[in-house]
């Protein structure tokens, strides 16, 4: 069957290229391929793809597929070419967007007051106030741009034996970077920055005199998949390994239950337990526990609260003694970081994990007040409940520390209900869940080491 191939870079082109990108331009090298997409009689039948030539069927039987639930699309995987499309989005896009909206929303309100004071003929506003506001606007717009890139930018990757081409498309604007590869070229994980003292990695491919980086917003498993696939393509299956430092606190790739637990009736909870029974009804059980637990987190709560209170109090006093109200806007604006510390203190102190088990599903909600995140598992899909490693610290490929928590496991995934609470609390939570599931006659796998 005929195929559409770019005459410049020899990459296979999709049949719906014009519909998906809005132009007849090769997504990998930027060449004009409009002649291939000219509408002529009979072309629909001639160029249509049948079920035997879909993207998934072009992946070799021995090739590793993208991780489960990944949106990465493998367009072609052969001995000569590896073509991948990374759609927009990422695990951190929503967080960046929320922060950008909050930051720029506050800046809009504050700037409106500042402009109103100037236009209204009040006392002169200090020049440094405008400079300070401009600096914070640059920061806010930077966060907004980062969110737009993470949410809407599509990445095309073309890998051949001697070159790597990466094209990024954002609202029709394209950037293409080509890197010449050598016999020593390999992919590895490189640290971009640290988040909560944990490195955040990107994929880096070294070429002849330069390197190409991508995948910062992907999940850890997706980044490692890219490194294995690229190294395997360039140097054979024996080189399909992950290179680069790994010193991050991250979820275990395959969370397995290592110790079983005995069922624990709600009325048998130990006296003084931090686990609280919220509701005991005919068809289910609802209980909760602190979102963060331990002396370190208690100290963080008091520390953040103290810093935030001192910060906001100082800014309030400065605003109170200011000569006129326009001059009070600057300390009010400077109180914003202190407010964030106070909010963090509230999250540390009053954040809760609420677990509900009824006849339909196990529902877990991690929240602080009305703000939170939920996850549910159908009761009939649950296979086991127990203790296991939910997070692990690795340094130079070796495990240096592990965290034991409560795990609820289905055939396809594991849901951690506790992380930093310690083994005793994890055992209580797992016991309550197991008791309620067995009360509904759910058959659970037996795990040793109770």
208-225 pLDDT tens trace: 888 888 888 888 888 888
Q: How far apart are CA 256 and CA 407, in angstroms?
A: 8
Mean pLDDT of the chain: 76
φ, ψ for residue 27, nearest 5 deg? -70, -10
Q: Which two tokens stand for residue 11?
A: 């990459």
pLDDT of res. 62: 41
pLDDT of 50 above 60 = no
Best CATH choice for the domain 250-291+351-439 from the list 2.40.50, 2.30.29, 2.40.160, 2.120.10:
2.30.29
Residue range 69-81, pLDDT digits in tens:
788 888 888 888 8
197: alpha, beta or left? (left if phi > 0; alpha if psi -120 to 50): left
Distances (CA, A) of 355 to 176, 211, 389, 415, 438: 48, 47, 20, 12, 16
Q: Is 15 helix (H, G, I), strand (E, B) or coil?
A: coil
pLDDT of residue 31: 74
* Residue 101 pLDDT: 86
Contact criterion met (CB below 8 Å) for 397 and 433: no
On the question of pLDDT at 12 being above 70, the answer is: no
Q: Do the Cβ atoms of 408 and 355 come closer than 8 Å? A: no
Query: pLDDT-based confidence at 369, cuts 50/70/90?
Result: confident
Could you give the C-alpha distances from 319 to 27, 120, 141, 312, 328, in angstroms and in order?
A: 55, 20, 27, 10, 4
* Residues 407 and 390: beta-carbon distance below 8 Å: yes
pLDDT for 223: 87
49-53, 249-253, 259-263, 337-341: the lowest-pLDDT one: 49-53
Task: Give the separation between CA 305 and CA 309, rounded to whole angstroms.
Answer: 6
Rounded Cα distance, 326 and 122, in Å = 8
pLDDT value of residue 70: 82
What is the structure's pLDDT at 448? 64
**CA triple 135-141-143, angle to 5 deg:** 110
194 pLDDT higher than 70: no
What global pTM score does this model have? 0.47
190 pLDDT above the threshold of 70: yes
Task: Assign 338 to helix, strand or coil.
Answer: helix
* Segment 264-302, tens digit of pLDDT: 999 899 988 999 999 888 788 999 998 877 655 666 777
Distance between CA atoms of residues 174 and 120, nearest Å? 45
């Amino acid at each position: 069957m005929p195929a559409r191939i770019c005459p410049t870079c020899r990459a296979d082109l999709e049949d719906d290229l014009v519909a998906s990108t809005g132009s007849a331009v090769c997504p990998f090298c930027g060449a004009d391929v409009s002649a291939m997409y000219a509408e002529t009689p009979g072309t629909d039948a001639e160029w249509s793809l049948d079920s035997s030539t879909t993207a998934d069927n072009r992946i070799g039987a021995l090739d590793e597929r993208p991780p489960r639930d990944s949106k990465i699309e493998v367009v072609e995987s052969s001995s000569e070419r590896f073509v991948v499309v990374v759609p927009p989005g990422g695990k951190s896009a929503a967080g960046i967007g929320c922060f950008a909206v909050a930051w720029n929303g506050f800046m809009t309100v504050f700037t409106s007051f500042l402009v109103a004071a100037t236009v209204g003929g009040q006392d002169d506003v200090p020049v440094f106030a405008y400079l300070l506001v401009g600096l914070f606007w640059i920061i806010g717009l930077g966060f907004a741009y980062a969110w737009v890139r993470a949410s809407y930018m599509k990445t095309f990757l073309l890998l051949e034996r001697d070159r790597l081409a990466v094209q990024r498309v954002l609202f029709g604007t394209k950037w293409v970077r080509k890197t010449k590869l050598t016999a020593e070229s390999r992919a590895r994980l490189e640290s971009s920055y640290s988040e909560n003292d944990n490195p955040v990695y990107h994929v880096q491919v070294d070429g002849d005199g330069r390197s190409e980086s991508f995948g910062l917003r992907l999940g850890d498993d997706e980044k490692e998949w890219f490194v294995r696939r690229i190294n395997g393509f360039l140097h054979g299956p024996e080189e399909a390994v992950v290179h680069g430092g790994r010193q991050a606190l991250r979820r275990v790739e395959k969370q397995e239950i290592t110790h079983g637990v005995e069922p624990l009736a709600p009325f048998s909870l130990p006296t003084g337990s931090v686990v609280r029974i919220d509701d005991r009804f005919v068809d289910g059980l609802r209980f909760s526990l602190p979102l963060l637990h331990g002396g370190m987190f208690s100290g963080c709560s008091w520390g953040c609260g103290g810093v935030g209170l001192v910060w906001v109090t100082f800014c309030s006093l400065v605003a109170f003694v200011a000569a006129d109200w326009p001059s009070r806007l600057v300390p009010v604006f400077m109180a914003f970081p202190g407010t964030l510390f106070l909010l963090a203190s509230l999250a540390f102190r009053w954040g809760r994990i609420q677990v509900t088990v009824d006849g339909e599903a196990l529902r877990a909600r991690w929240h602080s007040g009305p703000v939170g995140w939920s996850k549910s598992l159908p009761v009939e899909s649950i296979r086991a409940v127990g203790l296991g490693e939910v997070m692990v610290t690795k340094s130079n490929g070796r495990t240096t520390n592990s965290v034991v928590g409560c795990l609820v496991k289905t055939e396809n995934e594991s849901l951690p209900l506790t992380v930093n609470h310690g083994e005793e609390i994890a055992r209580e939570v797992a016991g309550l869940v197991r008791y309620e599931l067995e009360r509904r006659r759910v058959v659970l796998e037996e795990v040793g080491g109770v």
